[in-house]
Structure 1
Amino acid sequence: MSSSLKSARISASANESDRMALLDFKKRISEDPLQIMSSWNDSTHLCNWFGVTCSPSTKRVMVLNLQAQRLGGILTPSIGNLTYLIGIYLRNNSFYGEIPQQVGRLQLLQHLDLRCNFFGGNLPTTNLSHCTQLRELDLVYLKLAGNNLTGSIPAWIGNFSSLFYLSLFQNNLKGSIPSELGRLRLGYLSLAVNNLSGTISPLIYNISSIYHFSVTRNQLHGSLPPDVGLTLPNLKIFYFGANSFTGHIPLSLSNASRLYRLDFGGNGLTGTVPQNLASLRGLVFLNFQDNRLENGKVGDLNFLSFLANCTSLEVLGLDFNQFGGVLPNSIANLSSQLSWLTMGENMIHGGIPIGIGNLVNLTDLELQGNYLGGPLPDALGKLQQLQVLYLNNNKFSGSIPSSLGNLTKLIKLFMDENKFEGSIPPSLGNCKNLLELNLSTNNLNDTIPKQVIGLSSLSIYLVMSQNSLTGTLPFEVGNLKNLWKLDLSDNRLFGEIPASLGSCTSLVILHLEGNSFEGTIPPSLKTLRGLEEIDLSRNNLSGQIPEFLSKFLSLKHLNLSHNDLFGKVPSEGIFSNVSAISIFGNGKLCGGIPELLLPKCYTKSPRSSVKHLTLKVVIFVILVLALLCFFLTCCMVKKWRKRPLATPSLKDCRLASISYAKLHASTNGFSVDNLIGSGSFGSIYKGVLSSNGAIVAVKVLNLQERGASKSFINECNALRSLRHRNLLKIITACSSIDHQGNDFKSLVFEFMSNGSLDQWLHPIEDEQHRCKRLSFIQRLNIATDVAYALEYLHLHCHTPIVHCDVKPSNVLLNEDMVAHVGDFGLAKFVFEASHDLSKNESMSDCLSSVLKGSVGYIPPEYGMGGQVSVLGDIYSYGVLLLEMFTGKRPTDDMFKDGLSIHKFTAMALPERVMDIADSSMLFEEDEEVAHDETNNDGIEESAIIKEVDRYFNAESRMEDYLVSVLQIGLLCSTTSPHERMPTNDVVSKLSAIRDAFLRFKNENRRRRGRRMS
C-alpha cells in the first residue's frame, strides 16, 4: 500500500472522528431557537457547518465559535475528541452542568471562553492542566441556578506557561490565591467578586508582566507591599476595592507610570493620599472612598493641588473617610474632564470655592455630611452637566442661589439639614429632569413657588418639611402624578388641601402634618389608592372621616390626630387595627372599634325619624316606577326578539366602508404570498390600496368560526373612537359578499412594517428573521409604549376598555419600532358605576376566546369566574413584560410542576438577574463597549468597565435597571388583583427607568468618546 493512500485513509478517519464529535455536540443541544444547528448535516462538509473553522491543509476542526447563539444544553464530553482545537468560544449561551474533564485532552487549546453560561460545580481539576498551550481562560459569570463554580483555584493552573488572560470574575470560588499563579506571564488577571481570602503579597512579587490586576469584592486582607509600583511597572488597571486591606497607600505606585485606573475603595486604609500620585499623568479613575484616610486635620486635602497635573481625570472618589481642613482653591484646577467628585461624609469645613465652576463636565458632586458653611456660590450654576448634587447635612446658610435653575440636567438635589433661609427660587422649576428634591430642615420661608411644586418630572420624592413655608398649597401640586412621596410637614401652610392633590395617583407616602390646613379632607383623595402612609395630624381639619380611607387596602399608617374632625369613625380596613391609626385630639368623634374607647354615636332624634320615614316613602315610589319601566322594557325586548336575527352589518360599526372588489385587488386575490399572519377569527394580508397607494393590513374574518361576527363588531366599535399613537389605527372596513355570494367581513388597518413583537422575541428559522434582535433599550421603549396604550384604554376613554388579549403577537411595530397594540376582537367595555356583572360585557365570551389563543396570559381570577377588569389586562401585561426581558414564553416546557414565569423570575431577583435575562438583548451594550474599550494589547476591557461600575456606581449598573423592570413585571402579575400595580404607576415607573438608563448610556458614550479622542 502506498504511503499517500495510507495517509489519505488516516486523514479520512480523523475527519470522521471530528464529525462524530460534532454530531454528539449537536445531540446534547436542547435549546436552539435560531436553528443554527440545522446546518450541521450530511449535505455539507463539516468545515462548512455554522461556527466551525477547519485547517485548510488537514481539514481538522481548529475553532468552534458559537458565541451568542442562544444555545442551551450540556457540553458533551466528546468535545475532547476534537484534538486539533485551538479555540472554543461559547460565551453568552445557556450551557449548563459541569465543564467536562475531557476538555483536558485538547493539548493544542489556546483560547477557552465560556463566559456568561450556566456551568456549575467544580473546575475540571486534573485534565484541564494538560492544556499547557492555553493563552486565554475566560470563565466569567458561570452560574447554575443558585450554584456557581465552587472550590478553590487549583495550583496546577500555574503550569499554563503560555496563559496571558485569566478571568474567573464573579463566581463562588474560595480559599487563598495560589502562589503558583506567579509562574505565569499574565497580562490580565481578574478574580473579582468571589469569596477569596488571605493575603496578596506573595503573588504580587511574581507577576511583573501584568497590566490588569483585579481582585475587587473578595475577603482579602493585609497590607500592600510598599514597593508594589516597582514590582508591577506595567500596571494600567489596579482594582483592589471592597476587601479588608489595611496599612498605607504605597508611595511606589507613582512608579507604575502607565497606571490610569486605581481603585482602593471599601477597605481599611489609613494615613495620607500620596502627593506623588500626581505624577501619573494618565489617571482617569482614582477611588479611595470608604476607608480611614487622614485624621481631620488642616491641610488634609492639599494633595488636590498636585492632582491638577492629571489632566484626564474623570472620577475622584474620597467620600466616607476622615479628611479635614478646607476645600482648597486649587480644586478649580482639577481636570476639566472630571465628571465624578465625591467628598461626602468627611470633616471638611469652610465654604465652596468659587473656582468650582471651572469643573464644567461634572455630572455628580457629593459634599454631604461635612461641616461646610457660608453661602453657596453662584458659580454652581455653571455646572450645567450636573445630574446629582448632594449638599445635605452641612451648615450652609444664606439664600438658595437662583443660578441652580441653570442645572437643567439635575436628577437629584439634596439640600436638607442646613441653615438656608429666604424663599425657594422659582428658577428650580427649570430643572425639568428632577426626580428627587429635598429641602427639609432649613429656615426657608415665603410661599411655595408653583413652578417647583408643579414640576411633573418629580417621581421619587419631594420633601420640604421642617421649614417656615407659608401660604396655601398651590393647585399645581396636582402635576405630581408620578410622585412616590410628598412631605410638606411642619411648616405654616394654611387654607384647604387642594382637590388637585387627588391627581397624584402614584403617591405612597403623604405627610402634611404640623400646618394650619382647614376644611374637610378632600373627596378627591379617594383616587390615591396606593397610599401606604398618611399623616394629616396637627392641622385644623374639620368634617367627618371619609369612608374611602377604609377602602385603601395598601394603607399601613394613618394619623388624623389633633384636628377638629367629628362623627362616626369607620370600623373596616385600617380602622380595624388600633395600632395603625391615631385619632387623638378630635373630641367629637364616636363609634369605631371598641379598642378606640370612643363614645357611641348619638341615636337619631324624632324629627330625624320623620325625615327618615319620608325618605323611605320616596324611595319606595321610585322603586315602583322603576319596576314598571322594567316590565315595559321586557315586553318590548320580547317583541323585538321575535323578529328574524340580522347579521351584524357595517352600519353597527359606523365606519366608512370599502368594497370587496377593491380589497380583493389590493391583496392580489388574497394571495398566500401576501399572507402575513393568522389568528383565532381569520387571516391578515398585506395589501396596497389603488386609491392612494397606501400599504395596509387587511384582516379577513373567518365567519365559519363561532364568535367571528361578534369579534368584528367588537373590534370596530372599540377602535372607531380611539385615537392614540400606541394603538393600531383602523382605516376602514368591509361588510359585503364575496364573488361566490358568501358573507364577507374585513377590517383594514395601517400596515406595521416590522411585524409583531412575538416575531422579534421568538424569531423563526428563516434568514429574514434570523437577524432580528432587540436591545435592552428597544424592549424598554416597546414596554413603555404598550403601557401608554393600556393607560389610555383604562383611564382616558369615556368608558374604560379592557383589551382581554394582551400578548406579544398583538403588539405590532412600525418602521421606527414604535409599538402599537392591536386585535380588539375580545375587548370589553367596563361600566365602573356598577359592580353588577350583567351590566358589563359577557365575561364568558371573553374568557372562552382568550383560552383558545392566549394560555399563559390569562389572569387567574378569570379561571375562577372573576369579573373582567382592567386589572386582568395588567396581569397579562406583567407576563408580557417578564417574557420580553427573559426571552421565555409563559408556556415554555420548563414551566411545569408549579413553576411559572412569575416564580422563575422572582426566585432569581435581584442577585441572579443576569442568569435569567435574555442574552440577545445584552449584545448591543457589550459590543459597543468592546468596540470602544480595546487596549493596546488587543484584550477586551468590557469586563473591566463593568467591574468598576458594579462597585463604584451601583445605581448605574445595567443589572439594576433590569431588576427594576422585572420587579414591575412581578408586581403586575401577582395572583391577587388588588396587589397589582395600577396602569398609571406602570407608565410612570417605566418612563423613569427608561429616562435614567438613556442618561446613563449617553454619559458613558460621552466618556468613552473622550477617552478615544
Structure 2
Amino acid sequence: MLFLITIYVNILFCLDLRVVSVALDKSARESDKLSLLSFKDKIAQDPLQVLNSWNDSVSFCEWTGIICDSNNQRVVTLSLEGWRLAGSLTPSIGNLTFLTGINLRNNSFHGEIPQDLGRLSHLQYLNLTRNLFSGEIPQNLSHCLDLKVLDVVYNELVGNIPNQLSSLTKLEILGLGANNLTGAIPPWIGNFSSLLSLSLAMNNLQGEVPSDLGRLSRLRIFKIFANSLSGTVPISIYNISSMYYFSVTMNHFHGRLPPNIGHTLPNLQFFLGGINNFSGPIPISLTNLTSLVNVDFKENSLTGQLPVNIGKLRGLIRLNFGSNLLGTGEASDLGFLPSLSNCTSLQVLSIDNNRLGGELPVSIANLSTQMWILTMGGNLLKGSIPVGIGNLVNLTLLAIEENNLTGSVPKDIGNLQMLRQLFLSRNGLSGSIPSSFGNLTQLISLSMAENRLEGSIPSSLGNCRNLISLNLSHNFLKGTIPKEVIGLSSLSISFSASHNSLSGSLPLEVGDLKNLEELQLSENKLSGRIPSTLGNCLSLERLRMAGNFFQGTIPESLSDLRGIQEMDLSRNSLSGKIPEFLTKLSSLYFLNLSFNYLTGEVPKEGIFRNATAVSLRGNSKLCSDDQELELSACHEQGSPTSGKSLSGRDVALIALAIVVFLPLSVFCTLYWLRCRRRNSTTTASPSSEEWHSEISYLELLKATDGFSSDSLRGVGSFGSVYKGTLYKDGSIVAVKVLNLHERGASKSFITECNALRNIRHRNLVKIISACSSVDPQGNDFKALVLEFMPNGSLEEWLHPNIDEKHEVRKLSIGQRLSIAIDVAFAMEYLHHHIQTPIVHCDLKPSNVLLDEDMIAHVGDFGLAKFLYETTESIQAMSAGLKGSIGYIPPEYGMGGQVSILGDAYSYGVLLLEMFTGKRPTDDMFKDGLTLYKFAEMAVPDGLIQIADPRMLSAPKQDETSDAIYKYASQGSSDETRLRECLVSVIRIGLSCCRPSPGDRMLVKEAVRMLQDVRRSNPEF
C-alpha cells in the first residue's frame, strides 16, 4: 500500500511540474513576442513594409525574418538583411535569450549597439554590417562565448577595440573594418585559433602589427589596409600558409618582402601592399604562388627587376608595380614581358613611373586580348612602338608617355576601337598622326604633346565625337586647323595645339566649342582676324593665342566670355583700342596684350586697376597715367603719337568750344534728368545700361497672357514666376511678380534689384528689367524681368514629380559635376570678385536654374546681403536668421553674423544633396542623423550605396543602389573611377558644410578642387 501511495504522489508531482513547465514556456514565448514588438516600435522607416506581417493574425514564428525552434517555439534567428529599415536597435533584443543568429546587414539602423546583446549567451552569429551604428563596440559582447561571427563592417563605431572581447575564442570571422576605430591592434587576437577572416581595414588604427597574429594558422583573409599602421609586417604573418587574401595597402609599412614568400603562402590569390614604403627587390619566389590573380604594390620603393618568369602566374588578372624604383635603364629590364603572354586572363598591367629601360619587345602584341589597361609611362623606354600593339583590341587605356620612344606612331592603334584614353606625350615620336585615329570613336582623351610629329592634323579626328581633351602641342605640325576638329562640340576640357607651325585662319567652327575650358594656340603662324564666333565659347576660362599673326581689332563678341580667367593675345598684329568690355570680365585675373599695335588710352577699371595682372608692353601707341604699366602718360602728351605742344590758335579754339557748348550740354543734362524723374513714376528700373528702360505693367500683362495659369512656372516665398514673350522683340523672359501682401516682399524686391544691378556673370541669372507700377485696380505692382531658363530648376531634376506622365529626367554624374562647378563659380564671383562682396543667404536647388545647354545660373537674391570690410573681419550690414531650413548654417540660428562661410555651408549641403539625391529635410534625418553625418559615414567605400541611383550608369535604370554596389565592387576601371570621383566630391561637400564656420572650406577653394576632379575623370 505504501508503495502505491508513493507512486501516486510522484505522479501528482510530475503533473505539477509539467503544468509549471507549460506555464513557463508560455510566459517565455510571450516575452519573445513582446521583445519583437519592441523591436518593431523602434523602426522609424519600413519602405518595403516588411514588418506589416508582424501582427496578431499569425504566430510570431511566422513573421517575416523570424525563425523559431521547432520544439519550444522560441526565437532562434532574426534575419532582416537588406530591407532598408531605419531606426534604432531596442535593448529588449537582449530578452530573446534563445537567439543564435542576428542578421541586420544592409539597413539604416543608427544609434549605439545595445550592451544587452551580452545577455544572449547562445548567440553564434552577429552581422550588423552596412548600417549607421555609432558609439563604441559593446564590451558585454564578451559574454557571448559561443560567438563565431562578429561582423560590424561599414558603420560609424569609435573608440578602441575592447580588451574584454579577448574571451571570444571561438570566433571564425571578425569584421571591424570601415569604422572610426582608434588605438592599436590588440595582440590577444592571436589567441583566436579558429579565426578564418580578420578585417580591420579603413579605420584609424595606429602602431605596429603584433607578431602574435602569426599564430592564426587557419586565417584565410587578412585585411588591415587604409589605417595608420607603421613598422614592418611581422614575418610570422607571411608564414600563415592558409591565407589567400592579404591586403596591407595604404599604411606606413616599410622593410622588405620575405625572399621565401613563394613557399610560405601557397594558397595566396590576392597580394596587395600598395601605397606603403616597402623596399628591396621583388622576391623571385613570388612566381611559385601560382594561384595569384591580383598583385598590387604600386607606390612603394621596390628596386631591382620583375622576375623574368612571372608568366608562371597563368591566372593573373591584375599586375601593378607602378610608381616604384624598378629597373636600371638597361635592356634586361623588360625581360619579364615575353613570359606574360602565358597569362591569358591578364586585364591590367601597370609598370609606369619606374626606371625601366630597353626597347618594347614585339611580343607585347601577344599579351592577353582581355587587357584593358596598359600603363608604361614615366620610364626610360626607347625604340619604337611595336606595330602589333593593335592586337590588344579591348584596351581602354594605353599610356606610354614620358619615355624616349622614337619612330612613327603605328597605324594599327586605330584598331583599338574600345580605347578611351591614349597618352603618347613627351617622347621622340616622328612622322604624321595616323588618319586611322579617326576610328577611335570611344576616345575621350588624346595627348601626343612634346614629340616630333610632322604633317597636318588629320581631319578624321573629327569622327572622335566623344573627345573632351586633345593635346597636340610642342610638335612640328603644319597646315591649317581642320574645321572638323576645331568644331568638335564634345571638347570640354582642353584643345591645345600650341608650339607648332600651323597656319591659315582660325576656323569659324571654333564657336562650336561651347563647353571648352581651355584653348591653347600660341606660337604658331595663324593669321587673319580673331573670329567673332569665339565669343560663343561661353565656358572658356583660359585663352592663349600668343605668338601668331592675328590682325584687326579684338572682337566685341569676347565680352560674352564671362568666366574667362586668363587671356593671352600677345605678340600678334592686333590694332585698335583696348575694348572697354575687358573691364567688366570679373573673372579675368591675367591679361597679356603686349607687343601688338593697340592705340589710345588704357582703361582704368576692372583688371586694369591691378598693373601686375596686365601686360601691355610693346604697344607704342598706348598711353596710361598708371606708371606701373610703363607706358606714355596721357595727361602729358595728349596722345602717345603726339609729341607737339598746343599752339595759341588751338588754345583759342578750345576756349571758344567750351564757351559755346558747355551751357548747351548743361541744359540738355537738366532736361534729361527732368524727363527721367517724370517717367520713374510709372516704370522704375534699377540702373543698368543693359536693362530695358520702358517695360510697363501693360507690356508684362500682354507678355504673360494676362498672368495666366498656363504661363505660371512656379511659386516662391515672395511671389510667382511666369513665362512671357516680349512683343517688342519676341524674346522669351521670366517674369517674377512679387506678392506684396507677403511680409518682406517689397524689401526682397529692392534687395534683389540692388544685388543684380551692377553684377554680371555667366552663372548668375541675368535681370533684364524691373517694373514698379500699379495694376488696373490701383494696387502696387512690382516685378522683375529675368532671362528665361528653359530647363527649369535643379530642384526639378534632383527630385522629379513621380506623377508626371512623361519620362522622369535624369542627371548623369558628369552633368551634376558641371552644375556644381557652375554654381561654385557664381558664388566665388559674389564673394571675391566684386567691389562689395555679396552673401546670397538662400542657396538651394530651387534657386539654381538651368539654361538650354544645362549651364547653371544662380538666382533669387531676395535675401542677399552686402558685406563691408572692417579691420577685423567681414561683417554683414544686417543679420538675422536667413535662408531655407536645411540649408541655413547653424551659426545663423544662434545669432551669428552673415558671412561668406554661411554660403559655403549652404553650398556644401547642396553638393551632398546633388550626389546622394537626399534633401537635408528628408524624413530619414532624425534623432541626430543629418545629411552631413549620413554622407560622412559612407566615406569612402559606402558612397556607391548612398549615391543617387539615377545618376549611376547602371545596366538597368531601376537597379537599386545595393545592386550597383555589388556590380561596382567587382573592380572594373569605370566603377573604380566612379567610386574615386564620388569620394572626392563628397569630401569637398563635407569640408564646405562643417558645423564650425572656422573649419569650412571656402567656395573658391571648392571650385579649384572640383575642377581637378573633373579633369581627373574626363569620362564622366
Is this contact kept in 2: 1:532–1:555, CA < 8 A?
yes
Unaligned runs of 5+ in 1: 143-147, 639-645, 660-676, 684-702, 711-751, 769-773, 792-802, 813-818, 830-834, 836-849, 865-871, 933-939, 998-1013
User: Whole-Å Cα distance in 2 between the matches of residues 427 and 923 of structure 1?
Assistant: 35
Q: 1:421 aligns with which of 431, 450, 454?
A: 454
Bigger Rg, structure 1 or 2: 2
Q: Secondary structure at the match of 2:394?
A: coil
Structure 1's 503 and 807: CA in aligned 2 closer, same or farther, altered over 3 A? same
Are residues 1:120 and 2:158 paired?
Answer: yes
Are residues 1:70 and 2:100 paired?
Answer: no
User: Whole-Å Cα distance in 2 between the matches of residues 104 and 457 of structure 1?
Assistant: 60
Q: 2:1019 aligns with which of 996, 999, 1004?
A: 996
Give the counterpart letter for 2:153 in structure 1.
R
Is this contact kept in 2: 1:47–1:61, CA < 8 A?
no
CA deviation after TM superposition for structure 1 residue 592, in Å: 4.3
CA deviation after TM superposition for structure 1 residue 364, in Å: 0.8
Are residues 1:402 and 2:435 paired?
Answer: yes
Q: Tell me the equivalent position of 1:696.
A: none
Structure 1's 350 and 619: CA in aligned 2 closer, same or farther, altered over 3 A? same
CA deviation after TM superposition for structure 1 residue 359, in Å: 0.7
CA deviation after TM superposition for structure 1 residue 276, in Å: 2.5
Q: Secondary structure at the match of 1:469?
A: strand
Give the counterpart letter for 2:168 in structure 1.
C
Q: Tell me the equivalent position of 2:913.
A: 883
Q: Tell me the equivalent position of 2:311.
A: 278
Q: 1:130 aligns with which of 164, 167, 170?
A: 167
User: Whole-Å Cα distance in 1 between the matches of residues 528 and 912 of structure 2?
Assistant: 46
Give the counterpart letter for 1:77 in structure 2.
Q
CA deviation after TM superposition for structure 1 residue 342, in Å: 0.9
Structure 1's 307 and 925: CA in aligned 2 closer, same or farther, altered over 3 A? same
Q: 2:588 aligns with which of 555, 568, 572?
A: 555
User: Whole-Å Cα distance in 2 between the matches of residues 205 and 327 of structure 1?
Assistant: 35
User: Whole-Å Cα distance in 1 between the matches of residues 34 and 431 of structure 2?
Assistant: 80
Q: Tell me the equivalent position of 2:946.
A: 919
Structure 1's 561 and 239: CA in aligned 2 closer, same or farther, altered over 3 A? same
User: Whole-Å Cα distance in 1 between the matches of residues 560 and 716 of structure 2?
Assistant: 38
User: Whole-Å Cα distance in 1 between the matches of residues 169 and 526 of structure 2?
Assistant: 77
User: Whole-Å Cα distance in 1 between the matches of residues 116 and 262 of structure 2?
Assistant: 46
Is this contact kept in 1: 2:268–2:292, CA < 8 A?
yes
Q: Tell me the equivalent position of 2:615.
A: 582
CA deviation after TM superposition for structure 1 residue 393, in Å: 0.9
After the TM superposition, which residues 170-569 of structure 1 pair with which residues of structure 2 at under 5 Å, given as runs? 170-184=202-216, 185-200=218-233, 202-569=235-602
Give the counterpart letter for 1:58 in structure 2.
R
Is this contact kept in 2: 1:298–1:324, CA < 8 A?
yes
User: Whole-Å Cα distance in 2 between the matches of residues 174 and 859 of structure 1?
Assistant: 34
Structure 1's 783 and 418: CA in aligned 2 closer, same or farther, altered over 3 A? closer
User: Whole-Å Cα distance in 2 between the matches of residues 88 and 329 of structure 1?
Assistant: 55
User: Whole-Å Cα distance in 2 between the matches of residues 318 and 463 of structure 1?
Assistant: 28
Give the counterpart letter for 2:182 in structure 1.
T
CA deviation after TM superposition for structure 1 residue 883, in Å: 2.2
CA deviation after TM superposition for structure 1 residue 628, in Å: 7.2
Unaligned runs of 5+ in 2: 1-12, 76-97, 639-649, 685-696, 721-738, 747-791, 826-839, 867-880, 896-901, 960-964
Matched residue count:
842
Structure 1's 658 and 515: CA in aligned 2 closer, same or farther, altered over 3 A? closer
| Percent identical | 44
After the TM superposition, which residues 697-776 of structure 1 pair with which residues of structure 2 at under 5 Å, given as runs? none
CA deviation after TM superposition for structure 1 residue 444, in Å: 1.2
CA deviation after TM superposition for structure 1 residue 372, in Å: 0.7
Q: Tell me the equivalent position of 2:74.
A: 58
Q: Secondary structure at the match of 1:286?
A: strand
Structure 1's 631 and 928: CA in aligned 2 closer, same or farther, altered over 3 A? closer
> Which deviates further from its counterpart, 437-446 or 54-63?
54-63
Q: Secondary structure at the match of 2:406?
A: strand
User: Whole-Å Cα distance in 1 between the matches of residues 629 and 195 of structure 2?
Assistant: 75
User: Whole-Å Cα distance in 1 between the matches of residues 367 and 66 of structure 2?
Assistant: 52
CA deviation after TM superposition for structure 1 residue 367, in Å: 0.8
User: Whole-Å Cα distance in 2 between the matches of residues 924 and 907 of structure 1?
Assistant: 16
User: Whole-Å Cα distance in 1 between the matches of residues 908 and 199 of structure 2?
Assistant: 37
Are residues 1:959 and 2:959 paired?
Answer: no
Q: 1:88 aligns with which of 115, 126, 129?
A: 126
Q: Secondary structure at the match of 2:169?
A: coil
User: Whole-Å Cα distance in 2 between the matches of residues 263 and 972 of structure 1?
Assistant: 36
Is this contact kept in 1: 2:213–2:237, CA < 8 A?
no
User: Whole-Å Cα distance in 2 between the matches of residues 361 and 274 of structure 1?
Assistant: 26
Answer 1 or 2: higher relative contact order, Cα 8 Å, separation at least 6. 1
Q: TM-score by structure 2 length?
A: 0.69
User: Whole-Å Cα distance in 1 between the matches of residues 462 and 486 of structure 2?
Assistant: 8
Q: Tell me the equivalent position of 2:86.
A: none
Q: 2:182 aligns with which of 150, 158, 171?
A: 150
CA deviation after TM superposition for structure 1 residue 311, in Å: 1.0
Q: Tell me the equivalent position of 1:654.
A: 705
Q: 1:109 aligns with which of 121, 132, 147?
A: 147
Q: 1:141 aligns with which of 172, 175, 178?
A: 178
User: Whole-Å Cα distance in 1 between the matches of residues 288 and 171 of structure 2?
Assistant: 31
Is this contact kept in 2: 1:351–1:372, CA < 8 A?
yes
User: Whole-Å Cα distance in 2 between the matches of residues 195 and 788 of structure 1?
Assistant: 37
Give the counterpart letter for 2:187 in structure 1.
A
User: Whole-Å Cα distance in 2 between the matches of residues 96 and 944 of structure 1?
Assistant: 25
1:855-910 alpha-carbon deviations (Å, 9 max, x no partner): 7489999xx9xxxxxxx9999888544324356644689999xx998xx599979x
1:373-393 alpha-carbon deviations (Å, 9 max, x no partner): 011111111111111111111
1:143-186 alpha-carbon deviations (Å, 9 max, x no partner): xxxxx311121112123333222222221112222233233312
User: Whole-Å Cα distance in 2 between the matches of residues 895 and 610 of structure 1?
Assistant: 78
Is this contact kept in 2: 1:151–1:174, CA < 8 A?
yes
Is this contact kept in 1: 2:394–2:419, CA < 8 A?
yes
User: Whole-Å Cα distance in 1 between the matches of residues 53 and 659 of structure 2?
Assistant: 88
CA deviation after TM superposition for structure 1 residue 486, in Å: 1.7
Is this contact kept in 2: 1:777–1:994, CA < 8 A?
no
1:912-968 alpha-carbon deviations (Å, 9 max, x no partner): 566888726479989999xx9xxxxxxx9989756x97xxx9981413245347859
Structure 1's 443 and 859: CA in aligned 2 closer, same or farther, altered over 3 A? farther
1:677-730 alpha-carbon deviations (Å, 9 max, x no partner): 9998999xxxxxxxxxxxxxxxxxxx99979x99xxxxxxxxxxxxxxxxxxxx
Structure 1's 967 and 852: CA in aligned 2 closer, same or farther, altered over 3 A? closer
Structure 1's 444 and 21: CA in aligned 2 closer, same or farther, altered over 3 A? same
User: Whole-Å Cα distance in 1 between the matches of residues 28 and 404 of structure 2?
Assistant: 76
Q: Secondary structure at the match of 2:371?
A: coil
Q: Secondary structure at the match of 1:213?
A: strand
Q: 1:163 aligns with which of 188, 191, 195?
A: 195
Is this contact kept in 2: 1:914–1:959, CA < 8 A?
no
User: Whole-Å Cα distance in 2 between the matches of residues 776 and 966 of structure 1?
Assistant: 23
Is this contact kept in 2: 1:92–1:919, CA < 8 A?
no
Is this contact kept in 2: 1:565–1:588, CA < 8 A?
yes
Structure 1's 579 and 81: CA in aligned 2 closer, same or farther, altered over 3 A? same
User: Whole-Å Cα distance in 2 between the matches of residues 152 and 15 of structure 1?
Assistant: 43
Is this contact kept in 1: 2:518–2:541, CA < 8 A?
yes
Please provide the CA RMSD for this pair. 6.0
